[in-house]
Chains A and B, each alone.
Chain A
Amino acid sequence: MELLETLKKRALETLEKVADASGLAQWEIEIFGRKQGELTRLLRSLRDLPEAERRKIGAGANKLREKLEEELNKKRAFIKKQTTKRELLKEKVDITFPGTRHKRGHLHPLTQIRLTSEHIFTSLGFAIVEGPEIETEFYNFDALNMAGHSARDMQETFWLDKSIPGKNRYVPRTQVTGIQVRFMERHNPPFRIVYSGTCFRREATDASHEFQFDQLECLMVDKDITVANLKYILHAFFEKLFGKGVEIRLRPSYFPFTEPSFEVDITCIGCSGRGCSICKQSGWVELLGAGMVNQKVFKAAGYVPRQWQGFAFGMGLDRIAMMKYKIPDIRLFRQNDIRFLQQF
């Protein structure tokens, strides 16, 4: 029995001193080695003892073996953990080192603002529709109650030359509003649609004016659509576009294709309505035109007047994008400077 105790003591002492995997293997051979292992030898020597003593010491020896095996496993796990730790330390990276550069693509800010707007409106059930960029005089003006309107003037509107035969006169659309009539000619209410695209006006260019710009409009028609509904949808849109806390304000206005007509202001994004140079200290910024569809437009589209009510509103996407991204000059949009495009 003493022998067992001595072996246990010595074995555990040496194990304690083992520092790495090769030391541990060495220890394992010294103790458990098939030929020369101390424990092996001790167990082997039991064969020469008398039966009763053998049984007694045998039980103790087995216990010792279990104990030593357990300690061995513990130590092995410990050493493995230590080794991994050391190896991982060698793999240390400089976390402040610049990441590998990926060539990133970019969507134009006007596309991004259009997509965001379309997502908001489609979430409200609006369908996206399209129309031509070069319109007939009828869809761009006449059908919108703009017969004889001064905007048709050669000074304010581009016209195509007369090289296309036929009675139609063509105009690079001055607004996307013509799509209303095109759509209504082919569909009956109820419906709600959103449409956008390039428009042209014969206007001298400066930091806030362009002869080409993008517009987005919405139209919703049913039996009971009201100004109250228009207010709700406009507020919902701007809150989703610019964040909670944005207020809208409707002011009386005049457009040939809506009645009543409104100018819509939103809380100035630059100063949250406190007053700054962007909003000329008023706290409000004029962003779009809106109104209830003029019954004359329904009539031009072939509907029975007063059978339907609807709202429509339209906005310049360039202006919204300028506001959202704080872009100071509208001309930047179509210069396509790579250093501009890569910011979005």
Chain B
Amino acid sequence: MKFSYSWLSDYVKSMPEPKKLAELFTLRAYQVESIEKKGSDTVFDIELLPNRFADLAGHIGIAHEIHAIYGSKFLFPKPDARRSKTPIKEYVRAAVENGTAWRYTLSYVEGVSVKPSPKKIQERFAVCGLRPINSLVDATNYFMLDTGNPAHAFDYDKIEGKTISVRRARPSETMETIDGAVINLMKNDVVIADARGPIALAGIKGGKRAEITKDTKRALIELGVFDPARVRETARRVGFTTDASMRFSHLLPARVLGSTVELLIGYIQNFAGGIAAKDSVDIHKPFPKIIPILLDVPYASHLLGAVLSEKEILTILKRMGCSTVKGKARTLMVAPPPWREDLKSSEDLIEDIGRIYGIERIEARPPRAPMISSGHDELHIFSDQLRGYMKELGYAEAINYALVSEDDLASIGEARSTLKLANPLSKEYAVFRTSMFPGLLKNIKIGTLYEHSPRLFEVGRVFRPARNTPEEHMMLACILSGTKKSGGLYYEAKGTLEALVEECGLDDIWFREVDPKASVWPFTLLGTMHPHRSAQVEIGTKRVGYLFEVHPDFRAREPVVFFELSIPNILGDISQKREFRAIPRFPAMVRDLSVLVHKDERADSVIDVIENSGGQLLADVDLFDYYEGSGFGEDRKSLAFHLVFQSSERTLKDKEVLDRIVVIKRALGERGWEVRE
């Protein structure tokens, strides 16, 4: 909000020069966003905070704040309204519907002359970014810039009937604004109306019908405080943000409004002449008494962390306009000034005491605290470990929006219920993701344009509606693309997954045929899987996720492999921790064996046969080569294994190992598989 330096100088004596004032105000009160010279004046743009809009939205308020922080003398403007002997009820009455206005005043002025305002006023308007209109309207606007309270003038001779009412709009009522726009009113809009209908949209905009013109001789001057929520709502709906509506959107100090009526009339008369009725209409409920706040003096120092004497505190409170009485022990009873409705508790007071004292004067001090650990969140720490492992394995971390479109989910065959936004910004981001697949698939499709074989991962949450609450589940997802043959990309992803699980200290990981009937939360996406390159991943007996090559219908130009794992399900199994195993003292003997099997035969079945027939000395079986080709017929493949024999008690003899190999070969032969050494 813009303020004029010269205007402020009317109220505060010996102010610091503009730049210094801006710095001081920023540190002790509120941020001066910019200062700019305009002619002989300087304009301050100050960011007002919602809790101080009530008293700082005008020059008087800001000037008083400068007085509070700077200490120089402050002068309230002196109202000098000329009033006649005729009471206002001879001219007008007012009726206020409950809940529309906290306070409503009307004044009557006759004999005004509407003309351009004096040059000095026009200059001040230019500084504050307001357009001069005519002497009468400018007087109300000048008053608004001065006190923060918008006022409005109507042409008395255009009013029908003798009663002005503040009320909710009636069904199908309309109003033409001073700009000529016709507004269809709704039942929650508050209007100012005469016998014929609305003449103003309360706190937002005046109506055409009772507008002040150059012919206006008699005027009604309105000064009120309207319900901020209604003003905000209506202003937004009709699309007007006016200087008035912006101010009325906050709670203005209805309590002090009465005392400013005289000031308002004084301005009208200074600008446009005329004489007011003997009194003004003033409607409001009785204001509650100002209750003094009990301030414990040591508490101020204790909360701020600086030693403030009672004397210092008293000086600050006095400058703020508070009146204080000493209470019991080291307490003060502090009555805030009537324009500071925001001061309700001792913390409210201490906040102001602190900033006026100077936050920069509070010396930074390390806290002293007992060494008690609340303990880290396990899932958080584990998720970060997984991020680290994935990075080590050569993957780049992505972070996608948690919100996706319904189409995104439909396109991957997600048919289950989702969490939807009531008020999305766009259809593109309207529902919470149930899997990280849609986001990562988009990323990898773009990634392949720039990178030969992009590898991405993401750790994040997926969502669904559970019985009576939204449910979130932490997942690790990984996606990779490239041009490997014969499912090589699938095996690479599987290798990543195995390395990851090994890093976690787990070894009983299983890859099983996907069971479509058991597609339970948070696992999904069956429709996007390559039917013969997909597996359900289990650790122990617990399902932790899926690993699959993406069905050609969904993927990019090149094959894409994806896996998604439930982090809590993995974490749950980690209790079985690592344990030391003795390092073998005797050398191992390795023999290689290759087995010719039907091409649909699984490596696992062959390994099973070898392990079952290998006896105790067979320590490990390791598939190291794989070959499918014309050499041994169309439908056969060769699997080559390292067989590792080892004893923890002695060095093995050739013969023992050879004997074992014979047994293994026999077992393999019984299955009809050909063995080549």
* Interface residues in chain A, defined as those with a beta carbon under 8 Å from any beta carbon in chain B: 102-108, 110-111, 115, 122, 125, 127-130, 132-134, 150, 154-155, 158-166, 168, 170, 172, 183, 187, 190-193, 198, 200, 202, 204, 211-212, 220, 222, 224-229, 231-233, 235-236, 249-254, 259-263, 292, 294-295, 306, 309, 333-334, 336-339, 341-342
26 A-B pairs in the complex with CB atoms less than 8 angstroms apart? A105-B397, A107-B387, A108-B398, A110-B399, A127-B376, A128-B376, A128-B380, A134-B463, A160-B470, A163-B420, A165-B468, A211-B429, A220-B369, A226-B303, A226-B305, A228-B363, A249-B27, A251-B31, A252-B28, A252-B29, A252-B355, A259-B345, A260-B347, A295-B347, A338-B447, A341-B456
Evaluate whether A341 and B396 lie within 8 angstroms (CB atoms) in the complex, with A129-B374, A129-B377, A260-B355 already known.
yes
CA distance A96 to B284 in the complex (A): 86
Tell me if B375 counts as interface (CB < 8 A to partner A).
yes
CA distance A182 to B624 in the complex (A): 53
Instruction: Give the nearest-CB partner of B368 in chain A.
Output: A224
* Interface residues in chain B, defined as those with a beta carbon under 8 Å from any beta carbon in chain A: 26-31, 49-52, 232, 236, 249, 299, 302-306, 345, 347-348, 350-351, 354-355, 359-360, 362-377, 379-381, 384, 387-388, 390-403, 417, 419-425, 429, 432, 439, 443, 446-447, 450-451, 454-456, 460-461, 463, 465, 468-470, 472
Which of A198, A259, A263 is the one whose CB lies under 8 Å from B347?
A259
Instruction: Give the nearest-CB partner of A225 in chain B.
Output: B367
CA distance A158 to B431 in the complex (A): 11
In the complex, the answer to whether A249 meets B360 with C-beta atoms within 8 Å is yes
A227 CB contacts on chain B under 8 angstroms? 303-306, 354, 359, 362
Further pairs besides A163-B419, A228-B362, A254-B50: 4, Cβ < 8 Å = A107-B391, A127-B373, A229-B366, A309-B302
Tell me the smallest distance from the CB of B236 to a CB of chain A, in Å: 7
In the complex, the answer to whether A226 meets B365 with C-beta atoms within 8 Å is yes
In the complex, the answer to whether A190 meets B370 with C-beta atoms within 8 Å is yes
A150 CB contacts on chain B under 8 angstroms? 50, 232, 249
CA distance A220 to B27 in the complex (A): 25
Instruction: Give the nearest-CB partner of A306 in chain B.
Output: B299
In the complex, the answer to whether B364 meets A235 with C-beta atoms within 8 Å is yes
B461 CB contacts on chain A under 8 angstroms? 133, 198
Most chain B beta-carbon contacts within 10 A, residue among A183, A222, A260 = A260
In the complex, the answer to whether A252 meets B367 with C-beta atoms within 8 Å is no
Which of A127, A159, A165, A224 is the one whose CB lies under 8 Å from B422?
A159
Which of A102, A198, A228, A295 is the one whose CB lies under 8 Å from B305?
A228
Tell me the smallest distance from the CB of A210 to a CB of chain B, in Å: 9
Evaluate whether A259 and B381 lie within 8 angstroms (CB atoms) in the complex, with A228-B305, A252-B359, A336-B443 already known.
no
In the complex, the answer to whether B381 meets A128 with C-beta atoms within 8 Å is yes
Which of B388, B417, B472 is the one whose CB lies under 8 Å from A132?
B472
A168 CB contacts on chain B under 8 angstroms? 469
CA distance A342 to B455 in the complex (A): 11
Evaluate whether A190 and B390 lie within 8 angstroms (CB atoms) in the complex, with A108-B399, A204-B425 already known.
no
Which of B364, B391, B398, B402 is the one whose CB lies under 8 Å from A133?
B402
CA distance A231 to B272 in the complex (A): 54
Instruction: Give the nearest-CB partner of A292 in chain B.
Output: B303
A158 CB contacts on chain B under 8 angstroms? 421-424
B351 CB contacts on chain A under 8 angstroms? 252, 259-261
In the complex, the answer to whether A155 meets B347 with C-beta atoms within 8 Å is no
Which of B363, B393, B400 is the one whose CB lies under 8 Å from A336?
B400
Evaluate whether A134 and B422 lie within 8 angstroms (CB atoms) in the complex, with A105-B393, A106-B397, A107-B387 already known.
no
A104 CB contacts on chain B under 8 angstroms? 394
B49 CB contacts on chain A under 8 angstroms? 253-254
User: 7 tightest A-B contacts by CB?
Assistant: A228-B305, A226-B305, A105-B391, A260-B351, A127-B374, A231-B364, A229-B367
Tell me the smallest distance from the CB of A258 to a CB of chain B, in Å: 9
In the complex, the answer to whether B306 meets A228 with C-beta atoms within 8 Å is yes
B304 CB contacts on chain A under 8 angstroms? 226-228, 260
CA distance A232 to B401 in the complex (A): 35
A107 CB contacts on chain B under 8 angstroms? 387-388, 391, 397
In the complex, the answer to whether A212 meets B403 with C-beta atoms within 8 Å is yes
Which of B29, B347, B460 is the one whose CB lies under 8 Å from A294?
B347
Tell me the smallest distance from the CB of A326 to a CB of chain B, in Å: 19
In the complex, the answer to whether B397 meets A341 with C-beta atoms within 8 Å is yes
In the complex, the answer to whether A229 meets B51 with C-beta atoms within 8 Å is no
Most chain B beta-carbon contacts within 10 A, residue among A191, A295, A341 = A341
CA distance A27 to B249 in the complex (A): 109
Evaluate whether A254 and B305 lie within 8 angstroms (CB atoms) in the complex, with A225-B367, A229-B367, A336-B400 already known.
no
Which of B443, B455, B470 is the one whose CB lies under 8 Å from A134?
B470
B380 CB contacts on chain A under 8 angstroms? 128-130
A262 CB contacts on chain B under 8 angstroms? 359
In the complex, the answer to whether A202 meets B425 with C-beta atoms within 8 Å is yes
Tell me the smallest distance from the CB of B590 to a CB of chain A, in Å: 29
CA distance A166 to B468 in the complex (A): 6
B446 CB contacts on chain A under 8 angstroms? 336-338
B26 CB contacts on chain A under 8 angstroms? 251
B393 CB contacts on chain A under 8 angstroms? 105
In the complex, the answer to whether B52 meets A254 with C-beta atoms within 8 Å is yes
CA distance A129 to B376 in the complex (A): 6
A232 CB contacts on chain B under 8 angstroms? 364-367
B363 CB contacts on chain A under 8 angstroms? 228, 231
Instruction: Give the nearest-CB partner of B454 in chain A.
Output: A338
Instruction: Give the nearest-CB partner of A210 in chain B.
Output: B401
Which of A133, A162, A292 is the one whose CB lies under 8 Å from B472?
A133
A295 CB contacts on chain B under 8 angstroms? 345, 347
Evaluate whether A252 and B30 lie within 8 angstroms (CB atoms) in the complex, with A125-B369, A127-B374, A129-B377 already known.
yes
Tell me the smallest distance from the CB of B10 to a CB of chain A, in Å: 25
Tell me the smallest distance from the CB of A248 to a CB of chain B, in Å: 9
In the complex, the answer to whether A127 meets B306 with C-beta atoms within 8 Å is no
Most chain A beta-carbon contacts within 10 A, residue among B30, B50, B397 = B397
In the complex, the answer to whether B303 meets A108 with C-beta atoms within 8 Å is no
Evaluate whether A163 and B465 lie within 8 angstroms (CB atoms) in the complex, with A104-B394, A202-B423, A228-B363 already known.
yes
A161 CB contacts on chain B under 8 angstroms? 420-422
CA distance A104 to B367 in the complex (A): 41
Tell me the smallest distance from the CB of B619 to a CB of chain A, in Å: 32
B429 CB contacts on chain A under 8 angstroms? 211
Instruction: Give the nearest-CB partner of B453 in chain A.
Output: A103
B355 CB contacts on chain A under 8 angstroms? 252, 260
Instruction: Give the nearest-CB partner of A235 in chain B.
Output: B364
Which of B364, B396, B422, B439 is the one whose CB lies under 8 Å from A105?
B396
In the complex, the answer to whether A127 meets B375 with C-beta atoms within 8 Å is yes
Tell me the smallest distance from the CB of A325 to a CB of chain B, in Å: 15
CA distance A111 to B455 in the complex (A): 17
Most chain A beta-carbon contacts within 10 A, residue among B49, B360, B367, B401 = B367
Which of A229, A334, A338 is the one whose CB lies under 8 Å from B365?
A229
In the complex, the answer to whether A111 meets B397 with C-beta atoms within 8 Å is yes
CA distance A161 to B420 in the complex (A): 6
Evaluate whether A190 and B397 lie within 8 angstroms (CB atoms) in the complex, with A128-B381, A160-B420 already known.
no
Tell me the smallest distance from the CB of B49 to a CB of chain A, in Å: 4
CA distance A269 to B381 in the complex (A): 30
In the complex, the answer to whether B465 meets A228 with C-beta atoms within 8 Å is no
A342 CB contacts on chain B under 8 angstroms? 396
CA distance A102 to B395 in the complex (A): 12
CA distance A250 to B358 in the complex (A): 10
Tell me the smallest distance from the CB of B544 to a CB of chain A, in Å: 20
In the complex, the answer to whether A211 meets B425 with C-beta atoms within 8 Å is yes
CA distance A203 to B225 in the complex (A): 30
In the complex, the answer to whether B397 meets A134 with C-beta atoms within 8 Å is no
B350 CB contacts on chain A under 8 angstroms? 259-260
A170 CB contacts on chain B under 8 angstroms? 470
CA distance A132 to B380 in the complex (A): 12
In the complex, the answer to whether B362 meets A231 with C-beta atoms within 8 Å is yes
Evaluate whether A111 and B387 lie within 8 angstroms (CB atoms) in the complex, with A133-B461, A260-B350, A295-B347 already known.
yes
CA distance A76 to B351 in the complex (A): 88
A222 CB contacts on chain B under 8 angstroms? 367, 369-370
